[in-house]
Amino acid sequence: MAFWSAILLPLLICLLIFSGFLSKGDHGAHTSGVALWIEFSGLILAIMGSFILPMLIIFIAYSVNNIEHRADTWKSLFSLPISKLSVYAAKYFYALFLTFLCLALFVLFTLGFGNLLSVIKPSLRFSEYHIEGLLTRVYLKLFLSSLGILSIQFLLSLLFRDFLKPMGIGFICAITGDIIANNWKYSYLFPYSHPFLAIQALLNGKNAAIGPDGVPQITVDFFTKDIAVSLIVATIVFIAGYFIVLKKSVK
């Protein structure tokens, strides 16, 4: 379910925004290509980056460990001639892979549906601007910003057998992260606000400085406090989770 969720979520959200643009008729016919791309991709990011992505990560982290919890097979798994580090790392990096896959598909589907709109409706001048590089950088930063949440939720899914505790904690933290992201100067210290902070470069693209070619100069800075905190939290919690796994009995 986590695997298919990582695939279907970007497809459905991008298809939804695509349908909205398609149903607007000639709306945007006099809008520049860069403004159209910012609006189109910004809507997708606004939907998933601030809240849906943290919830997907919560679901992925739980699903990866739920198999062992549900079947009570942790002891059987750790009794195999495989190190606990290998088991723990394999599960974690599979969850990491699903998160990366989801965000990579968001890039591909955004570009695909945007270019499809320009073919179906030539009046929409998406072809005037190439957003591939900028969009890839935004989603790469979004991926890095999600690592802290992934590690925390992965650890919670190890600690609790049921779905409600990690889901409830994650849900409350995700809402809190959205609230404080723009209202507290130290929000970068709270991992669940990092995805929202990461997408600000594109969401604020219409307010960016205009370059000599008439195109907004949108930059994506990877060396920010929120990304540093995300990586630090991810590393510390990953190590802590391994020591918790070491204490699991195989008898």
pLDDT digits (tens, 9 = 90+) for 171-205: 999 899 888 887 888 898 999 999 888 887 566 65
Phi–psi pair at 36, nearest 5 degrees: -65, -45
How many residues are listed for the chain in this entry? 251
pLDDT over 70, % of the chain: 87
219 within 8 A of 206, measured Cβ to Cβ: no
Q: What is the pLDDT of residues 100-150, one digit of tens each?
A: 999 999 999 999 999 898 888 887 778 888 888 888 998 999 999 999 999
Domain extents in the chain: 2-246
- H helices then E strands: how many in the chain? 11, 0
pTM of whole model > 0.85?
yes
The C-alpha torsion from 109 through 110 and 115 to 121, rounded to 10°, is 110
The amino acid at 118: S
- What the block records as the tokens of 237 is 């919690």
> Which of these ranges, 6-20, 214-228, 235-249, has the smallest mean pLDDT?
214-228
**Rounded Cα distance, 196 and 48, in Å:** 9
CA angle 235, 62, 76 (to 5 degrees): 90
- Residues 187, 146, 2, 247: is their CA dihedral positive or negative? negative
Span 19-39, average pLDDT: 78
